[in-house]
Amino acid sequence: MANLILVRHGESLWNKKGLWTGLTDIGLSPKGKEEARGAGQKLKSFSIDLAYISVLLRAKQTLDEIKAVLDLHLPTFESAALNERDYGIFTGKNKWEIQKEVGDEEFQKIRRGWNVAIQNGESLKNVYNRSVPYYTTEILPKLKSGKNVLIVAHGNSLRALVKYLENLSDNEVENLEIATGEIYIYNISDKGGIISKEIK
């Protein structure tokens, strides 16, 4: 058995402003660094062998804060497969202004819909199709071998992974929200199945 620990990065400077960040490489806000350190504190009782992160700064900074709290030096692997969703034409725009423009129903589709295309961007389904194969080929074998794995990534790449791990329906994943700094911990069997789940 092994633990799979999913952590969404702490609040970024653009999260704070309500801007769609996507692939824009924005760092953490002071609150975000505090959230990351808080995640580290919550993980003090857990053993971690390996870390996987996206290539984006906010994920790297979150992992750095967690490692500092835990006084850990982890083998760390970066992959664009774990990057945030590309928000295309909405990147850098204020979410709440867009919500006023398009209305609540359309806004929810854009923000959380499973297979809603964004011009010059990605749907959550697109994110699933790059993050889940990376998980099954690169990360799952480590878990099956008994390694405890930490993944620090983004709201949408983690939502995609949770959809896969928990076999959520398209409708269920549309209602899934993972807060900045939030932690999902799965106990994984040596066959790769979920034994238990905890949210911190």
Give the up-direction half-sphere exposure of residue 113: CA atoms within 13 A in the CB hemisphere.
Answer: 14
Rounded CA gap, 24 and 91, in Å?
8
Query: Cβ distance 96 to 128 under 8 Å?
Result: no
Among 11, 35, 84, 122, the one annotated catalytic: 84
AA letter at 48: I
Q: Catalytic residue at 166?
A: no
Q: Catalytic residue at 9?
A: yes
DSSP code, position 141: H
Classify 181 as helix, strand or coil.
Answer: coil
Burial class (CB in 10 A: 0-12, 13-18, 19+), 49: middle
Active site residues: 9, 84
